[in-house]
Structure 1
Amino acid sequence: MNNPSFKKLAEISPSRYDICMMVSKRARRIVSGSAPLTEQVEAKPVTQALNEVIEGKVTKK
């Protein structure tokens, strides 16, 4: 289970809604067949998407 701190996520965006939308949109792309953006590949798409957001590989448009 992945439990990132909100402080770390708040550095990306102060809005929880924005973070949720970034993660969910990226997870949908992963399920559709998009290649992972990080070297560490997770089994679950939401976990993979969250890691990519935390590492700064996915940003809000």
Structure 2
Amino acid sequence: MMLEPSIDQLQTKINSKYTLVTLAAKRARQIQELKRHQITNPKSAKNVGIALEEIQAEKLTYIAADVEERR
């Protein structure tokens, strides 16, 4: 079973696998609660897959917090 988008494609958008997983999980929860997504005709029926498609399409991004801001 081939997953789309692939991890290699996604890592061109977000370098850290940890950040990618965290972002996708948070967005999947939002999609579940709000019943809305930013992709027209998503390939995936699952919320995590839709979140990953949004990241690949650059519909979903993040801003990294500065280490000093977190303290």
The CA RMSD measured in Å over matched residues stands at 1.7
- CA displacement 1:7-55 (0-9 Å, x = unmatched): 2111111100010011111100001014110101342111111111111
% of aligned pairs identical? 31
Q: Which has the higher contact order (CA 8 A, sep 6+)?
A: 1
Gaps of 5+ in 1: none
CA distance in 2, matches of 1:18, 1:51: 15
Query: What SS class does the counterpart of residue 32 from structure 1 fall into?
Result: helix
Structure whose alpha-carbon radius of gyration is higher: 2
TM-score by length of 1: 0.82
Gaps of 5+ in 2: 64-71
Match of 1:47 in 2: 49
Match of 1:31 in 2: 32
Q: Which runs of 4+ in 1 moved over 6 A?
A: none
CA distance in 2, matches of 1:43, 1:58: 18
Preserved CA contact (<8 Å) 1:37 1:52: yes
Preserved CA contact (<8 Å) 1:18 1:60: no
CA distance in 2, matches of 1:18, 1:24: 10
Equivalences, count: 61
